[in-house]
Structure 1
Amino acid sequence: MTIVYLLAPLSLLLAGGFVLAFFRAVDDGQFQDLDTPALRALLDAEPEIDHRSESISEKGKNDDRPRKA
């Protein structure tokens, strides 16, 4: 039972620290723009250019797989 007298204030102190850290992060602007960092990875990629000389329809003509009779 005496451990409760130690753990209760310790847990309240820890919770208070988390609340203070949250308010400090909000005050510093950590939560101002939540959408742009997630989209930045999609917008940074350069589009790939297809350098193949043959089109998809021509590729099917030279297919080496056995055909059904």
Structure 2
Amino acid sequence: MWHICKHQAWKINILPEHIASGAIHALKQTVGQAKIKKIRNFAAYFTNTVKNIYHDIFINECDALLAE
């Protein structure tokens, strides 16, 4: 799962200090959804969640750079 996080962070180009916090958030969301409903492919759901969270982090990083 860590490989998935590092690969998605590389593709989206976020800063290294945000990788772990995004991964933890995605894991919490995935486990929460697994408890509520049946997820057929845990890795695919986790990958999609990580991709969405890292995209939000990237947008926040860009906004922070533009605000400076």
- TM-score, normalising length from structure 1? 0.32
- Greater helix share, 1 or 2? 2
Choose between structure 1 and 2 for higher RCO, CA contacts under 8 A separated by at least 6 residues. 2
The structure with more radius of gyration: 1
